[in-house]
Amino acid sequence: MSSLELRGITVRYGRFTAVDNVDLLVPEGTVTGLVGGSGSGKSTLGKAVVGLAPMQSGRVLVAGSDAGRRRGRSPVQLVFQNPYASLDPRMTIGASVAEALPREAASCETPARKAPARERRSACDAEVARYLELVGIDPARAVLAPDALSGGQRQRVALARALAARPAVLIADEITSALDVSVQGAVLNLLRRLQRELGFAMLFISHNLAVVRYLSDQVAVMDDGHLVECGPTERVLERPEHPTTRNLISCVPTLALAEEAS
Amino acid sequence: MPHQDQDTSLRHRLGRTLRTPIGVTALTACLLVVLVAVFGPVLLGDQAARIDTDAINRGSSAAHLLGTDQLGRDIAARVVVATRLTLRLTLLAAVIGVGGGLLLGVAPAVVGRRLGRLITATVGVLVAFPGLLFLLFLATIFGVGSTGAVFAVGLAMVPPMARLVQNLTASIAGSDYVAAARILGVGRFKLVVRHLLPNIAEPSVLFATQAAGGILVAFSGLSFLGLGVQPPEYDWGRLLNEQLNRIYVNPVAALAPGAAVVLTGLMFGLVGEVLAQAGGRRAPQAREATPQQVKPQDETAPDGDGGALVRARDLRVTFPGGRRAVRGISLSIGVGEAVGLVGESGSGKSLTALALADLVPHPGRVCAGTLRFDGHDLRADPRLGTELAMVFQDPMASLNPALRVGRQLAEVAEVHLGATRAQATARAVDRLGAVRIPLPERRARQRPHEYSGGMRQRAVIAMGLMGEPKLIVADEPTTALDVAVQQQVLDLLAEVRADSGAALLLISHDLAVVAQVCERVLVMYGGLIVEDLPVAQLVGGAAHPYTRALVGAVPTMATDPGTELATIPGRPPEPGEAGAGCPFAPRCERARKRCHDDAPELAGFGPGQRVACWYPVDAETAVAPAQAASHGAEATS
């Protein structure tokens, strides 16, 4: 497994600079939380890493080698915020996951010379089943369309798809903000368990500091396109140095107020 | 509702649409045309080709139904035989048109940016070119004859088809799942075949079918003009051309091929209509039994409100298909009280709020034993505009992007309060100031897109404050905002409440937000209120296992990163599948037999607290909730 290193990433849309010269290192096998207000550029940064946002300058290094402008399957996979939009409504969830499988692993797509079609198909199905099982979806449901699944289940499938691509680095872009609290917990538990088991590096983008605190080893704070603070989770959240961080922390609504009242 | 039944899949809807009169007609017409095209030339080919010099230019007779032409051939047989060629050429041209259209339409999404722009621009220019002119231009280039005409008519269809496909594809190509496929390194061809084409199929097929009708007419036109099919071959247009000069001698001979063109064109139109109905939301709905209206109980005692601003008893919201989103809840909101309504998505919390404002979307039906607001019966006399303010999740959806913000606010005062334009504008500026929008006079002249997200939400709140609201209903007002802005909006709501004395019904899935602003919390689950408790009891004092689980599931800044987050196993019930027992029972670890068999009613539990649970948390030590003590609790069947 490998680290993710961003060097001098700048993203501009016309004259608007969404991300300005950001350097960030996500060490091997750890989780970095990326927080910031809306419009701070945190999601754009995540998109730029996987090539979905136009990068003016900067380099994306995965395990030390340039990965930013490579064609084909990206070693960095992204899980999107909205599980209702990130799965093709016309494909079964099994097909969605199968699409992500590396060719050499279970050649569902390219005709391997010796293996007959049936064997390839079943090898592919087995891989899909394995990934669905990994995220807690009954493999028997692989034939269902995303319509038949709830938001939390869809997000699990999206996670299975990203993991099936065997990413070196995973970017989770607000993956629980479209989910209910009760479902959020299950998805976060799953993500944390998988991260520890599979050991990929993860950039966890969220506006929810409590969630970031729960998952991350390191926290990076963005404001107005700049990276303003970055450090170990405990240090950043307990002794924030930048006013943006302090402001974000003070704005976290808590249930504790109810406790005080009582 | 994001959920869509598998039953309403395209095939299912197509089957249903085919059983409607229009579907039956389209199907019959299709079958008829296909049969004629297949068997016509086989059965009548000889007769159509037989030259009979004894019977030249005859009128209609028993031997020749439509008469004969200048070589004595039977015109009726020729019309029938011509079906095959006409259809073949039409379909061939349609294939060229649809194929070319798809190719040019999809290309900009998968080729480089520059080439994509070039294609888009070219198609744009061609679309602007008058269709008939383009067709004749192409026909001249390709020369006279069937092949030329097929290309001319087919290519003329390419630009409009390409334009449609471009627009459809652009929206699909921007979607997250296409982005995901790109990250996965899915090749261009597979991207098109797997993701783009299936998702634009329905409107494209619809367009193609209807365009095929147009092609038939255009092709017949070319043949009629002598630019299309050349003798000895003949299609309907050619027959029309041959017979038209004799229209006063033997009108049916000229009218028959014309009628064939029109009827077949109509068939294409009908097929398109059927596909549109099956593919779109217009599919005929299965008939619904009208849910019986709950008899409004004659409550003549307005003092029964007991000082409550809002009182609802046995409020129900039902949708066609037996989906009961809100299943008989009773709630009251005191004057100036701040009440939070929490629950998972699908719990019915938003519909409850919409029912209070009489805003439940169309197929939904609201019924209630009592629904009173400030002494008025809301069922007879909805109060909106001035006394009840609504704030929704997406402020951009509540503001008209084309109007200046000040104008939109002023409209409220003009319509509901009868203010003059100047008064209303002054009030709008004043209200914008009241929600802490800096430079309100300048801001009032701006349009919503010039506002930030938080400022838009403020403007919506200001709109609610144009009157003198007694109740502000805020449905997830901060969900679309980031934490810092969320805090400002919550502070603002608290301030507004303190200033105006309005009551607040705050709907949120975020318990922390509710805990911060509200005094009392109603917890909804499966369309029912399962607990009603003071906000101070939320942490530690909740009696319903669901409330406890919900509170436990929220990660806080104090959650131990070493432990797993608490979760609630299972999933909430769908609006249609509520059983006899407690809706939470299947997910509840405390559930016993009674929970699965009987639904508990909302009953008094402690001071200011009510819970709908047979075995509330701490009930082992506390006295079992007396059912008789329940006030305002209704049967939850």
Which residues in chain A are contacts of B205 at CB distance < 8 A? none
Query: What confidence score (pLDDT) does residue A72 get?
Result: 67
Q: What is the number of domains present in chain A? A: 1
- Picking from A18-32, A107-121, A138-152, A205-219, which range would have the lowest pLDDT averaged per residue? A107-121
Q: Percent of chain B, pLDDT > 90? A: 21
Which residues in chain A are contacts of B486 at CB distance < 8 A? 251, 253
Q: How many CB atoms lie within 10 A of CB B100?
A: 17
- Picking from A55-64, A104-113, B518-527, B615-624, which range would have the lowest pLDDT averaged per residue? A104-113
Q: What is the CATH number of the domain that holds A192?
A: 3.40.50.300
Best residue of A74, A170, A255 to probe chain B, by most B CBs closer than 10 Å: A255
Is the pLDDT assigned to residue B110 strictly greater than 60?
A: yes
Give a yes or no: residue A93 inside a domain. no
Query: What confidence score (pLDDT) does residue A114 get?
Result: 56
Mean pLDDT within A179-192 = 85
Distance CA B113, CA B60 (A): 63
Is the pLDDT assigned to residue A158 strictly greater than 80?
A: yes
Mean pLDDT within B415-438 = 88
Give a yes or no: residue A121 inside a domain. no
Q: Predicted confidence band at B323 (pLDDT cuts at 50, 70, 90)?
A: confident
- B600: distance to nearest CA of chain A, Å? 23
| Pairing state between β A4-13 and A55-62 | antiparallel
Is the sign of the CA dihedral B320, B325, B329, B335 positive or negative?
Answer: negative
Is the pLDDT assigned to residue B496 strictly greater than 80?
A: yes
Mean pLDDT of chain A: 85
Give a yes or no: residue A99 inside a domain. no
Q: What is the tens place of the pLDDT at every residue in B430-478? A: 989 888 888 999 999 999 888 888 888 889 988 888 888 889 999 888 8
Mean pLDDT within A7-36 = 91
Contact state of A214 with B565 under an 8 Å Cβ cutoff: yes
Give a yes or no: residue A33 inside a domain. yes
Element of type H or E holding B314: strand B308-319
Q: Predicted confidence band at B607 (pLDDT cuts at 50, 70, 90)?
A: confident
Is the pLDDT assigned to residue A257 strictly greater than 60?
A: no
Is the pLDDT assigned to residue B540 strictly greater than 50?
A: yes
Mean pLDDT within B550-562 = 84
Distance CA B200, CA B165 (A): 7
Query: What confidence score (pLDDT) does residue A128 get?
Result: 92
Is the pLDDT assigned to residue B210 strictly greater than 90?
A: no
Contact state of A147 with B179 under an 8 Å Cβ cutoff: no
Residue B41 and residue B84 in contact, taking contact as beta carbons nearer than 8 Å: yes
Is the pLDDT assigned to residue B146 strictly greater than 70?
A: yes
* CATH code for the domain defined by B6-279: 1.10.3720.10
CA-to-CA dists, residue A88 to A158, B135, B278, B542, angstroms = 10, 38, 20, 41
Query: Residue A5 phi/psi, 5° resolution?
Result: -125, 125
Residue B320 and residue B575 in contact, taking contact as beta carbons nearer than 8 Å: no
Q: Which of A69, A79, A83, A128 is nearest to A102 (CA)?
A: A128
Mean pLDDT of chain B: 83
Is the pLDDT assigned to residue B627 strictly greater than 50?
A: no
Query: What confidence score (pLDDT) does residue B169 get?
Result: 92
Is the pLDDT assigned to residue A262 strictly greater than 80?
A: no
DSSP string, B470-535: SEEEEESTTTTS-HHHHHHHHHHHHHHHHHH--EEEEEES-HHHHHHH-SEEEEEETTEEEEEEEG
Query: What confidence score (pLDDT) does residue A162 get?
Result: 92
Query: What confidence score (pLDDT) does residue B634 get?
Result: 37
Identity of the residue numbered B180: A
Query: What confidence score (pLDDT) does residue B617 get?
Result: 85
Query: What confidence score (pLDDT) does residue B296 get?
Result: 44
Which residues in chain A are contacts of B195 at CB distance < 8 A? 88, 90-91
Query: What confidence score (pLDDT) does residue B636 get?
Result: 36
Query: What confidence score (pLDDT) does residue A68 get?
Result: 53
Is the pLDDT assigned to residue B20 strictly greater than 50?
A: yes
| Pairing state between β A65-66 and A76-79 | unpaired
Q: How many CB atoms lie within 10 A of CB B422?
A: 9
Q: Percent of chain A, pLDDT > 70? A: 90
Q: Which of A240, B24, A111 is nearest to A230 (CA)?
A: A240
> Residues of CATH 1.10.3720.10 domain(s) within chain B?
6-279
Residue A5 and residue A220 in contact, taking contact as beta carbons nearer than 8 Å: no
Query: What confidence score (pLDDT) does residue B395 get?
Result: 82
| Pairing state between β B520-525 and B338-342 | parallel
Q: Is A88 on the interface with B (CB under 8 A)?
A: yes
Residue B321 and residue B8 in contact, taking contact as beta carbons nearer than 8 Å: no
Element of type H or E holding B417: helix B405-417
- A23: distance to nearest CA of chain B, Å? 22
Q: Predicted confidence band at A183 (pLDDT cuts at 50, 70, 90)?
A: confident
Q: Predicted confidence band at B9 (pLDDT cuts at 50, 70, 90)?
A: low
Distance CA A210, CA B393 (A): 22
* Tokens (6 digits) for B393: 């999740």
Q: What is the tens place of the pLDDT at every residue in A94-113? A: 999 999 988 755 445 545 45
Which residues in chain A are contacts of B180 at CB distance < 8 A? 78, 80, 86, 158, 161-162
Which residues in chain A are contacts of B559 at CB distance < 8 A? 210, 213-214
More confident: B69 or B189: B189
Identity of the residue numbered A238: E
- A116: distance to nearest CA of chain B, Å? 22
Is the pLDDT assigned to residue B486 strictly greater than 60?
A: yes
DSSP string, A41-79: SHHHHHHHHTTSS-EEEEEEEETTEE-TT--SS-SEEEE
How many inter-chain contacts (A to B, CB under 8 Å) are there?
A: 187
More confident: B523 or B540: B523
Q: What is the tens place of the pLDDT at every residue in B211-223? A: 899 899 988 888 8
Instruction: Specify the DSSP class assigned to residue B633.
Output: -
More confident: B482 or B2: B482
Mean pLDDT within B11-23 = 82
Query: What confidence score (pLDDT) does residue B458 get?
Result: 87
Q: Is A122 on the interface with B (CB under 8 A)?
A: no
B197-224 and B251-279 helices, crossing angle to 10°: 170
- Which residue in the set B184, B513, B566 is minimally distant from A165, CB to CB? B184
> Residues of CATH 3.40.50.300 domain(s) within chain B?
301-387+477-555+565-637
Query: What confidence score (pLDDT) does residue B244 get?
Result: 84
Residue B151 CA, distance from chain mean position? 39
Query: What confidence score (pLDDT) does residue B14 get?
Result: 80
Query: What confidence score (pLDDT) does residue B10 get?
Result: 67
Distance CA B618, CA A231 (A): 43
Query: What confidence score (pLDDT) does residue A5 get?
Result: 92
Q: Identify the domain containing residue A71 by its residue range.
A: 4-85+151-261
Contact state of B183 with A257 under an 8 Å Cβ cutoff: no
Mean pLDDT within A161-179 = 89
Residue with the two structure tokens 């709501």: B493
Element of type H or E holding B370: strand B370-373
Contact state of B539 with A186 under an 8 Å Cβ cutoff: no
Which residues are CB-neighbours of B392 under 8 A, at least 6 positions away?
Answer: B398, B460, B475, B476, B477
Residue A130 CA, distance from chain mean position? 20
Q: Predicted confidence band at B64 (pLDDT cuts at 50, 70, 90)?
A: confident
Mean pLDDT within B109-114 = 86
Which residues are CB-neighbours of B385 under 8 A, at least 6 positions away?
Answer: B412, B415, B416, B467
Which residues in chain A are contacts of B348 at CB distance < 8 A? none
Give a yes or no: residue A71 inside a domain. yes
Distance CA B325, CA B526 (A): 8
Give a yes or no: residue A52 inside a domain. yes
Long-range contacts of B4-10 (CB under 8 A, 24+ apart): B4/A147, B6/A145, B6/A147, B6/A148, B8/B283, B10/B202, B10/B278, B10/B279
Is the pLDDT assigned to residue B297 strictly greater than 50?
A: no
Distance CA B535, CA B282 (A): 45
Q: What is the tens place of the pLDDT at every residue in A139-156? A: 888 888 888 888 888 988
Is the pLDDT assigned to residue B313 strictly greater than 70?
A: yes
Residue A212 and residue A33 in contact, taking contact as beta carbons nearer than 8 Å: yes
DSSP string, B50-99: ---TTSTT--S-SSSTT-B-TT--BHHHHHHHHHHHHHHHHHHHHHHHHH
Contact state of A89 with B485 under an 8 Å Cβ cutoff: no
Residue A124 CA, distance from chain mean position? 24
Separation of first and last alpha carbons in chain B? 23
Is the pLDDT assigned to residue B278 strictly greater than 80?
A: no
Contact state of B180 with A261 under an 8 Å Cβ cutoff: no
Question: ipTM for the complex?
Answer: 0.87
Q: Is A238 on the interface with B (CB under 8 A)?
A: no
Q: How many CB atoms lie within 10 A of CB B417?
A: 15
Residue with the two structure tokens 């063109």: B261
Mark out the alpha helices in chain A (DSSP H runs): 42-49, 93-100, 117-134, 151-164, 181-198, 209-215, 233-238, 243-250, 256-261
Is the sign of the CA dihedral A234, A200, A42, A153 positive or negative?
Answer: negative
Element of type H or E holding B252: helix B251-279
Query: What confidence score (pLDDT) does residue A46 get?
Result: 92
Is the pLDDT assigned to residue A9 strictly greater than 80?
A: yes
Element of type H or E holding B413: helix B405-417
Q: Is A258 on the interface with B (CB under 8 A)?
A: yes
Which residues are CB-neighbours of B483 under 8 A, at least 6 positions away?
Answer: A37, A207, A208, A209, A248, A251, A252, A253
Q: Which of B337, B332, B344, B335 is nearest to B368 (CA)?
A: B332
Assign domain B301-387+477-555+565-637 to its CATH superfamily. P-loop containing nucleotide triphosphate hydrolases (3.40.50.300)
Query: What confidence score (pLDDT) does residue B106 get?
Result: 92
Give a yes or no: residue A159 inside a domain. yes
- Which residue in the set B176, B512, B565 is minimally distant from A255, CB to CB? B512
